[in-house]
Amino acid sequence: MATGGVRPAILALSLLTAGCLPGPVSSPGPETGLPAPGTPPTAAPSVPQPSDRPPGEGPDREPTLPPVPSVVGPIALRIVYPPEGAQIATRDSNFVFGSVGSGGATLRINNRTVEVKPNGAFLAWLPVPVSQTSQAAYSIEVVQGADTVRATHAIRLPGLPVALTATGMFIDSNSVSPRSRVVAERWEPVRVSARIARSAQAELQLADGARISLVPANNSSASEAVVVATEVPAIRLNSAAWVQVIRGRDSVRLPLARVALADSAGAQYARLGAAASTLPDTDRVIIGRPVVGGTYKWFLIPGTVAEVTGQTGAMTRIRLDATQQVYVDRAELSPLPPGTPAPRRVAGNARVVHGAGYSDVRIPVSDIPPYSVEAEPQALILTLHGTIGNTDIINFTSTDSVVRRVTWRQVSNDRAEFRVELHAAPFGYVVMWDRNALVLRVRQAPAIDRSRPLRGLVIAVDAGHPPAGSTGPTGLYEPVATLGIAERLKAYLEQRGATVVMTRTAPGAVGLTDRPVIARRANAHAFVSIHLNAFPDGVNPFERNGTGSYYFNSWSEPLARAVQAGMLRRMGLRDLGVNYDNLAVLRPTWMPSVLCEGAFLMIPEQEAALRTPEFQDAYARGVAEGLEAYFRDLR
């Protein structure tokens, strides 16, 4: 199960931020083929020797799941998900999975019959127990012969929305906004909103006596409640203001949080990079987001100075240039003294310096600029925000095998754009600040031996998790299985001539951001992260499970396609496609990177297969063949 930023609803990639499936629990017995989570390994796991047969030929293909083994024993009920007392994210329908200890038992949950697999595992999709409070419970009955076990399993539910009806309350006081501290520019529009009964009216009342109606924010008529809103300049909310709601002879007046003005004392500046980090400077970035709590989009260099233009909760808005503002974690800012002047950034004469396996585009700039990079089929576009271009000369050698030429243009008064045209498609890059110059280091693709395309390459293999990770119905913990698959993948890659760097070789946790750093320091030519999938609450797990691959940077997409094809050929599960996804281990730009979600650990048949060396081997072989196919076709 992968982790990172904002995820599609059907994918387990959102589980870390939305509430992960449970962590490790002990495995059910010696038939599992793998040690229980937390068991110290006594010896390296047996790794089958890879075959020299070309991919996809003859008996190497393993397109079907092995049968679920039969387990017969006493009833041993265990609910893996949701854990006892856990908060779930839906009041509609949700999955419940675990094990009853024996394939011969029958199971009913809330009076509904649930299929039990031969090994005692089960996965149910059921209505969530109805409750008018935040507490609910599943009623469970397991029967085997003359033995019966009954239990209740408590869960916590999301809060019910405040009922706004013709006879009840007519405003949800918790919905009134703004409620917490907001900092905005003087004439910036600020949204004022509230959820009220459809039969009521609301208006914004200002300290100067002005009254402004709040109007419905959508056309929905399916509910007796409606969200009403208006927008006013921040300066009008800098004094006391209220929302007044009226229905008939009843009314209520609720105060709004006072909006502070970011520009009340002139422009305020701050330096990025205040928060502590264990990463070296070359790997440390400050994350910029398009909206509060939004996706990761900008990756700024520590030490960059930016104007502070607003604040919402723990997020602060900064200005990159006249037309671009982004949100960063407030803890990442060190305010500069009042009266600090705006940084004046001027880009001077540039040059391209060719090195061993890369070329550096060095652009002298008078201060660290906010930047962004976009990739084209055969170019990189480097944008310097808040910067004036004054580049007269760009020097590069005619024999440079990476960079063909560099041109620049002033897009707007404070935005300069450098177009770095390449001899081939981008393979990787990194941006650094070095001796008063912004450096775009463009990586050269490796020379490939088409007969043995992995020979001489360095491949980083990442066994996903811990920390976190999903758990299957009989207790198989994701990091246990991913490490077994990663070790088999290592053997296949080494036989094909690659040097393999493992980000994890033991059960202990490895930090999420440290994993791609390990790969970059090893100068890896590709990064592959091995994971197993699960669904978030509220998604029917029987409708769409299978195999998927994920990438973030555009030059990683061909690798994701090749690895996806290899996994499908070997494992034979449903094709969930290739996905662009903003994940932490995929964001680094120095090499093509792919994250594999080969199977769903929460599906009993797939969990059982993942306990077998044969299916782990199929997963590893598929990934190895995908890497081989990608590098064979690399131009």
Distance CA 272, CA 257 (A): 28
Q: Which CATH number does the domain housing residue 272 bear?
A: 2.30.30.40
Residues 495 and 622 in one domain: yes
List, in order, residues 6 or more apart from 352 with CB less than 8 Å away. 359, 360, 361, 362, 394, 395, 396, 397, 400, 403, 406
Helix or strand (DSSP H, E) at 385: strand 379-385
Residue 503, SS3 per DSSP: coil
Virtual torsion, Cα 557, 561, 564, 566, nearest 10 deg: -130
pLDDT at position 4 is 59
List, in order, residues 6 or more apart from 546 with CB less than 8 Å away. 573, 574, 575, 576, 599, 600
pLDDT at position 12 is 35
70 is a domain residue: no
pLDDT at position 468 is 95
pLDDT band at 266 (very low <50, low <70, confident <90, very high): confident
Q: What is the percent of the chain where pLDDT is above 70?
A: 89
Predicted confidence (pLDDT) per residue in 313-369, tens digit: 899 999 999 999 999 999 999 999 999 999 999 999 999 999 999 999 999 999 999
Predicted confidence (pLDDT) per residue in 477-501, tens digit: 999 999 999 999 999 999 999 999 9
pLDDT at position 219 is 64
pLDDT at position 181 is 84
Mean pLDDT for the stretch of residues 79-92: 97
Q: Which CATH number does the domain housing residue 375 bear?
A: 2.60.40.3500
Helix or strand (DSSP H, E) at 242: strand 241-247
pLDDT band at 50 (very low <50, low <70, confident <90, very high): very low
Q: Are strands 526-533 and 458-463 parallel, antiparallel or unpaired?
A: parallel
Residues 574 and 618 in one domain: yes
How many residues belong to the chain?
635
Distance CA 463, CA 460 (A): 10
140 is a domain residue: yes
Please give the full DSSP string across 357-374, using - where no structure is assigned. Answer: TEEEEEEEBSSPPPEEEE
Closest CA to 545 of 58, 60, 19, 65: 65
pLDDT band at 263 (very low <50, low <70, confident <90, very high): confident
Which of 22-31, 83-92, 537-546 is predicted least confidently? 22-31
Q: Which of 210, 241, 260 is the last residue in one of the domains?
A: 260
Phi, psi dihedrals of residue 298, rounded to the nearest 5°: -110, 145
Type of residue at 187 = W
Which of 51-60, 76-85, 506-515 is predicted least confidently? 51-60
Residues 454 and 594 in one domain: yes
Residue 35, SS3 per DSSP: coil
Please give the full DSSP string across 515-556, using - where no structure is assigned. Answer: HHHHHHHTT-SEEEEEEEE-PPTT--TTTS-SEEEEE-SGGG
pLDDT at position 31 is 34
Residue 479, SS3 per DSSP: helix
Residues 524 and 597 in one domain: yes
Q: Are 1 and 13 in contact (CB under 8 A)?
A: yes
Give a three-class secondary structure readout of 282-297: HHCCEEEECCCCCCCC
48 is a domain residue: no
pLDDT at position 40 is 34
60 is a domain residue: no
Please give the full DSSP string across 182-215, using - where no structure is assigned. Answer: EEE-TT-EEEEEEEEETT-EEEEEETTS-EEEEE
pTM higher than 0.85: yes
Q: Which CATH number does the domain housing residue 253 bear?
A: 2.60.40.10
Residues 386 and 304 in one domain: no
CA distances from 373 to 282, 384, 428 (A): 17, 9, 12
Per the structure, how many domains does the chain have? 5
Residues 496 and 597 in one domain: yes
Q: Which of 209, 230, 260 is the last residue in one of the domains?
A: 260
Find the angle CA(75)-CA(80)-CA(84) to the nearest 5 degrees: 100
Predicted confidence (pLDDT) per residue in 550-597, tens digit: 999 999 999 999 999 999 999 999 999 999 999 999 999 999 999 999
Virtual torsion, Cα 377, 379, 381, 382, nearest 10 deg: 140
Residue 635 burial by CB count (10 A; 0-12/13-18/19+): exposed, middle or buried?
A: exposed
Q: Are strands 78-81 and 387-389 parallel, antiparallel or unpaired?
A: unpaired
Residues 490 and 557 in one domain: yes
pLDDT surpassing 80 at residue 13: no
CA distances from 425 to 60, 146, 380, 465, 558 (A): 33, 68, 9, 32, 11
List, in order, residues 6 or more apart from 108 with CB less than 8 Å away. 114, 140, 141
pLDDT at position 162 is 79
Distance CA 556, CA 561 (A): 9
CA distances from 374 to 263, 298, 380, 555, 589 (A): 32, 11, 6, 11, 11
Token pair 């009843």 is at which residue? 250
pLDDT at position 310 is 94
Token pair 């809103």 is at which residue? 229
pLDDT at position 635 is 80
Residues 82 and 218 in one domain: no
Distance CA 326, CA 371 (A): 12
Residues 185 and 253 in one domain: yes
67 is a domain residue: no
| More confident of the two residues 54 and 369 | 369
Strands (E), 464-510: 499-502
**Per-chain mean pLDDT for the chain:** 89
Q: Which of 443, 467, 483 is the last residue in one of the domains?
A: 443
Number of CB atoms found within 10 A of residue 311's CB: 20
Which of 98-112, 160-174, 282-296, 558-572 is predicted least confidently? 160-174
Residues 486 and 618 in one domain: yes
Give a three-class secondary structure readout of 74-111: CCCCEEEECCCCEECCCCCEEEEEEECCCCCCEEEECC
Predicted confidence (pLDDT) per residue in 202-247, tens digit: 999 999 999 999 999 876 666 788 999 999 999 999 999 999 999 9
pLDDT surpassing 90 at residue 28: no
Dihedral sign from CA coordinates of 585, 587, 590, 596 = positive
Predicted confidence (pLDDT) per residue in 157-191, tens digit: 998 877 777 667 788 888 999 988 899 999 999 99
Q: Residue 507, CB half-sphere, CA atoms under 13 Å: how many?
A: 14
Q: Are 502 and 490 in contact (CB under 8 A)?
A: yes
Residue 118, SS3 per DSSP: coil
Residues 217 and 94 in one domain: no
Q: Are 604 and 119 in contact (CB under 8 A)?
A: yes
Q: Residue 333, CB half-sphere, CA atoms under 13 Å: how many?
A: 24
Mean pLDDT for the stretch of residues 449-475: 97
Residues 188 and 322 in one domain: no
Mean pLDDT for the stretch of residues 118-142: 97
580 is a domain residue: yes
84 is a domain residue: yes
Number of CB atoms found within 10 A of residue 575's CB: 12
Closest CA to 578 of 591, 566, 590: 566
Distance CA 195, CA 252 (A): 13
Distance CA 389, CA 364 (A): 10
Domain that holds residue 131: 78-156
Q: Are 493 and 452 in contact (CB under 8 A)?
A: no
List, in order, residues 6 or more apart from 461 with CB less than 8 Å away. 486, 489, 490, 493, 500, 501, 502, 503, 528, 530
526 is a domain residue: yes
pLDDT at position 313 is 86
